[in-house]
Amino acid sequence: MTQETRPSMDGVELVMLAGAWLAPFSFFVDLPVIGLYVRLLHLWTFVALLVLLATHRDSLVAAINVPVVAFWTMLTFVVLSTLLATPTEYRGRGLVDIRVLFLNVLAFTLMRGYYTGRPHAWTRFIVNLAASSALMGIVLTARAIATGNTGQAVGFDSFALGLGTVAGTFTATFAAAAAAVTVFAITRRQLAAGLIAFVIQGDAMVLALARGPWIAFGVAIITALPLAAWRFRGRFTIARVAARGLGTLLALPVFFRIAIELSPFIARLLVVRVVEIVNITSGTAFSRLILWKLLLNDAWRSPVFGHGAAAYRDISERLGIQGSVSENFIVEMLHAGGLVTLVFLAVGLLGVAYHCLMQPGAERRPTFTAACVTGGTALVIASMTNPAAWDGLFWILLGLAATRPVTGGAAAPSTAG
């Protein structure tokens, strides 16, 4: 049987692939524009929108489905709540937050519009994103080691080595995805790529000193991998899945050991952070729990439509946390837009997961399906401990899962490697 010829890349796809290379590095760079910050993915989203409107308008319309409608409805209710309910002193900040959320949801929509029905282009995007994320992991690791060798912290808590919780979230996301690749690899090339990426992202994840992403990684492994194994039942033996899945969990202490050996300074920081995982009575974990409790209590003053974007700052600033973020996207959306907004957010996320795991074709390319589901699970869980959901990479990765190819052309095992 002759192997299917993959369509060549055109200029439009090159624009989309630029997003794959920019996305992992977007949170590094803030560009000041008219007093507001703009990130690389914001600029890419604007350019991609113009390009796709000029060349693929029909595809954008045809790709509208439940998650797309749910996310835009979520945004609409947040806008209305902000205009009608956000206190005057926080309304400007709320409108800025809406602008960011608009660009992020737009990026998701553009991913959905372009890659739905383009399985080979989707494969090229995920491969390029994997490569760029590995480069990001190397850069983050080098940065942390260089800081550790100086023996001086550059910040508090997770920022001590200059990485932080957002970097930790994305490295945990890619580490979880890489773990899924190693478990469900069907070629030696996939297995090798998964192991290499797992080592790179695992080291960077540990050096981020971010407890929330560490927990999110573990939860994703013990929940998403068994779910994927159930979906692929008959394709892989229980012994193989259990052995490789357990291996990824057992690798975590190895990553910590490697990090400890890098320098005595890093070793001391890691010991403190590991101890703090189970100690929520002090430090940032305790302060975040207090903030979330107060936000949840305040949300019930307007449980249906919420208090508007950035209204939570009234509470955080009364706690003495000036200019803070909520550190929990789910709680923030509940407080900003009420139960209506939260329901549409949940519908969108569940719709993405359903498309990726349950739509036809999932079992034909198990490696990519498992990577998207496991990485996406880690990403969403970690966003409940830090502001990663406000970075465009969060929505790009959701868009990748939401467009997992469902057509037969995406499935030939001979081309999966």
- Please say if the pLDDT value at position 3 is more than 60: no
- Please say if the pLDDT value at position 414 is more than 60: no
- Please say if the pLDDT value at position 199 is more than 70: yes
CA distance 74 to 69: 8
- Please say if the pLDDT value at position 278 is more than 70: no
- Please say if the pLDDT value at position 350 is more than 50: yes
Chain Cα centroid distance, residue 321? 25
Q: In the Cβ-directed half-sphere of 146, how many Cα atoms lie within 13 Å?
A: 8
Task: Quick: pLDDT tens for 230-261.
Answer: 998 878 877 778 887 777 777 777 777 777 87
pTM over 0.85: yes
- Please say if the pLDDT value at position 186 is more than 60: yes
Report the range of poorest mean pLDDT among 89-98, 271-280, 406-415.
406-415
Nearest to 50 by CA among 60, 35, 36, 65: 60
pLDDT value, residue 411: 38
Q: Are 20 and 34 in contact (CB under 8 A)?
A: no
For the packed helices 119-150 and 188-207, what is the interaxial angle rounded to 10 degrees? 40
- Report the percent of the chain where pLDDT is more than 70: 91
Average of per-residue pLDDT across 261-279: 79
Structure tokens at 150: 């100086």
- Please say if the pLDDT value at position 409 is more than 70: no
pLDDT value, residue 72: 97
